[in-house]
Structure 1
Amino acid sequence: MSTKGLTGSLKTMSLPDLLQWAGSGRKTGTLSLKSGPLHKKIYFQHGAIIGSSSNDTREYLGQFMLSEGIITEQQLKDAFDLQAQTKVMLGRILVKKGLVSEGKVGEILRLKAEETIYSLFLWTESDFAFLENELPPGDQVLISIKVEDVLMEGLRRYDTSKKIRQALPHNGVVLKKTAKPLPPDIASKVFPKRIHDLVDGRRTLADIILEAHASEYNVCQVLYVLVQKGYLEVGKGAALAAARAPADTPQALMEAAKELIKSGDSEGALVILEKARRTAGKNPEMNALIQVAEEHFIDKAYRHYLPPKKIPVLKKPLESLMSQDLSPEEGFLVSRVNGSWDLRSIISISPLREVDALRAFKKLRERGIIDLVEAQARSA
């Protein structure tokens, strides 16, 4: 039976201090951290880290498989379809279909667990709670890492991330290839080669991150190295939109959002809450309200204007959409509209959160870029 132990925020106790506390105290239990909609956990046994979990879409097994080039989006979509019928775990389905070995699945699951832990070193705001004696679920793949090893790599990533942001200051940056060819030691590696291939002088950093199905840090770290070595250069990039401070206080905006939720306009509430969150700082009430608004929006979207089994089709040629000023999220989704995948399938292989993908699809439909048709109507 678990009991709540140490609680607080990263403002008052840093992640390195937390890890050292758990390691030196030979703690057994779960360190739970929440930041906005994201919830991550680190599992300890006798002071050693034995696993982690995350609700961040980009840290799901399927996204790791895509980022490593192990499977294709079509293969992941087919695996999800089979999973919906059989309820078998994704890794086992991929092994049974002969797409990957059991050993490789275990390797990726361990990598996934480690990446979730390292990503926390880049969090600046989070509430945490340590649940004494709470261990991971029985189906969790266990790892074994010493706290000191995690600290060394995590702090290295933190220092590197500051250098990266000096070279790539925002996600609207556009990169382009130089005349310098990739050497064999880089070209032979799947992930760096893929990231280099995604650079075309038009895609923004945000576009590349989505296309790569990988974490922002891992993509930016590769791009940073390629820029430093002269294989890529930073173009003029997209203008970074200036953040406008909301005219009202966060509390007033929250009250307005509550009224919108009551009236059924959950999307309008989300727009207001996103503005409020920029100035509110840590606010548990706001985070709870955002969660309610997101749940209402998802439910309404599927029931009324984005039925999950309908198939999106382009109303305009893909080439003509280059001038439509699509957001990175809209651009990613549009490029997956192939006339045969339904909405739920596209969302399932996307690195986007479900609510963000649905909001982007709604905008695409409202702008007349896509339409939705019945599956049988499309195949007729």
Structure 2
Amino acid sequence: MPGLSGDFATMPLRDAVSYLGNRRSSGVLRIQRPGVFKELTLSQGAVISASSNQPREFLGQFLINMGHLTEDQLGRAFETQRVTDMLLGKILVMQGIIPEPTVQNTLNLKFREMLLDAFQWGEGEFLFEAKHVVALGEGLDVRVDLQDIHREGEFRETAWQAIRAVFPSGKARLVVDERRLPESRQPGSRDEKLVTHIKEGMTIDEMALALHASDFYLYQRLYALYRQDAVKVREDPPPSPAAPPTPAPTIIGSESPVEEILQAARMFLDNCNFRDAEALARRAYEVAPSPQTAELLKSAETSLHEALRLLLMDPAQVPSLLLPQAQLKTMPLSAPERYLLSRINGTRDVAAIIRVSPIHELDALKYFQGFVDSGFVKLTPV
């Protein structure tokens, strides 16, 4: 079989996975939608290696969530990786931090989750290139049968329907009845951390970042606790009547034709105003996705990324909070913003915080620059 390609509207990904699994195909399967890219290496109908540009799908994130690794240990392993260029799984095994079977089991979970997450996409494209392959995930022998993943996908489709009926949004906050929780809950366990975050008033999205959790396993656990009458969605009082809205200032690109937005983005890019260039290029891509707008957005993102790395990470700088935590808790911050602010402890530099976070580096850098510009945070060179 020379290859297979299509979009999800024509052939759902689960059908393509079943097709490749039935034929025991070998090669490389690439999956993408705007901003998300995944690549899986297949051998005889099984996934043996996988990579993603989504930080939450990195091996280290799964290991932290499962309690096998701390953020500090992951940070030190990344330092070793930077010097040796070895795969993370091999480093953790060689240093005796995690046993090889544990890394293999976690890679098994990672491979599954990468595909099962994409099963939920409403739109996307896939491309399979048939070829002989020998690569192993993280240098370890791991194989996950595509047909097993396909069967799991069918189960999850039903599970998600039940979960979404109870927890329709990641912005929901919860309440917990500790009398109905399992008695076997151990200090430091995932359940104990989950209960702590619920009592702290975190949204589900904020809990996912704090726990380095994949969406399905977090929602599945919350749903199990809901069925035990231990957890339910918090019924917040309705917001106070809002004051009459004041006219919003005109933002370049909000109403302009796409060509005008592109022209302004290119002008900002040429003048090294990378922040506005990236914002306008993103707006143009959202309004009219095309190879032209995608290429401009990529160029603007690359330029902004390089500029922010030089500004915030080279040389190393340690962030510290200028506002008390109590005040930050009352501010209308996003889940990623709250996560990053919670990791500021006066010792970790910006790079160390971002390296182990489940957030894209460019997005995290933009948040940090916003913190500095808003007076939440100051940076001190190391």
- Report the TM-score, using the length of structure 2 for normalisation: 0.86
> SS state of the match for residue 365, structure 1?
helix
Q: Which amino acid aligns with 1:349?
A: V
Are the equivalent residues in 1 in contact too, given 2:29–2:127 (CA < 8 A)? Answer: yes
1:19 is matched with 17
Answer whether contact 1:308 1:342 (CA < 8 A) is retained: no
**Amino acid in the other structure paired with 1:330:** E
Does the C-alpha gap of structure 1 residues 176 and 263 become closer, same or farther in structure 2, counting only changes over 3 Å? farther
Q: Any idea what SS the aligned residue of 2:217 has? A: helix
Indicate the residue corresponding to 2:355 in structure 1: 348
Shift of 1:304: 3.1
CA distance in 2, matches of 1:66, 1:238: 35
- Among candidates 107, 112, 118, match of residue 120 of structure 1: 118
CA contact (8 A) 2:59 2:107 kept: yes
For residues 129-160 of structure 1, what are the alpha-carbon distances to aligned partners after superposition, in whole Å with 9 as ceiling and x for unaligned? 11110536455544333333211101222332
Alpha-carbon distance in structure 2 between the residues aligned to 1:310 and 1:188: 34
Matches within 5 A, 1:1-380: 5-133=3-131, 135=133, 137=135, 139-184=138-183, 190-200=189-199, 202-236=201-235, 246-248=254-256, 253-276=261-284, 280=288, 283-305=290-312, 307=314, 309-375=316-382
In the aligned structure 1, how far is the partner of 2:49 from the partner of 2:72?
29
In structure 2, distance between residues paired with 1:63 and 1:6:
31
AA aligned to 1:45 is S
| 1:267 partner letter | R
The amino acid that maps onto 1:218 is Y
Contact 2:172/2:204 (<8 A) preserved: yes
CA gap 1:211/1:46 in 2 versus in 1, 3 angstroms:
same
In structure 1, runs of 5+ residues without a counterpart are 376-380
In structure 2, C-alpha distance between the alignment counterparts of 1:155 and 1:238, rounded to whole Å? 38
Q: CA RMSD in A?
A: 2.9
- Give the Cα–Cα distance (whole angstroms) in 2 for the partners of residues 142 and 55 of structure 1: 22
Judge which range, 314-323 or 254-263, deviates more: 254-263
3-state SS, counterpart of residue 144 of structure 2: coil
AA of the residue aligned to 2:374: R
What letter matches 1:288 in structure 2?
A: E
CA apart distance, 1:117: 1.9
Aligned partner letter, 1:40: K
Distance 1:38 1:5 in 2: 21
CA distance 1:324–1:136, change in 2 (3 Å): farther
Q: 1:378 is matched with which residue?
A: none
Q: Distance in 2 between matches of 1:358 and 1:239?
A: 34
Contact map agreement 1:79 1:94 (CA 8 A) in 2: yes
Shift of 1:220: 1.9
- Name the SS of the counterpart of 1:199 in structure 2: helix
Instruction: Name which of structure 1's ranges 47-56 and 347-356 shifts more when overlaid on structure 2.
Output: 47-56
So what's the TM-score if we normalise by structure 1? 0.86
> Structure 2: which amino acid aligns with 1:260?
F
Secondary structure of the equivalent of 1:267? helix
Residue 338 of structure 1: how far off its partner (Å)? 1.2
User: Per the alignment, do residues 340 and 186 of structure 1 end up closer, same or farther by CA in structure 2, a change over 3 Å counting?
Assistant: closer
Contact preservation (8 Å) 1:196, 1:223: no
Task: Evaluate the alpha carbon distance shift between residue 23 and residue 298 of structure 1 in structure 2; reply closer, same or farther with a 3 A threshold.
Answer: same
**Do the aligned residues in 1 keep the contact of 2:40 with 2:50 (CA within 8 Å)?**
yes
CA distance in 2, matches of 1:59, 1:323: 30
CA contact (8 A) 1:51 1:142 kept: no
Classify the secondary structure of the residue corresponding to 1:130: strand
Letter in structure 2 aligned against 1:123: W
Residues 339 and 179 of structure 1: CA distance in aligned 2, closer, same or farther (over 3 Å): closer
Instruction: Tell me how far 1:363 sits from its aligned partner.
Output: 0.7
Cα distance between partner residues in 1 of 2:284 and 2:370: 22
One-letter amino acid matched to 1:302: R
AA aligned opposite 1:355: L
Residues 5, 130 of structure 1: 8 Å contact kept: yes
Deviates more, 1:47-56 or 1:365-374: 47-56
Identity of aligned residues (%): 28
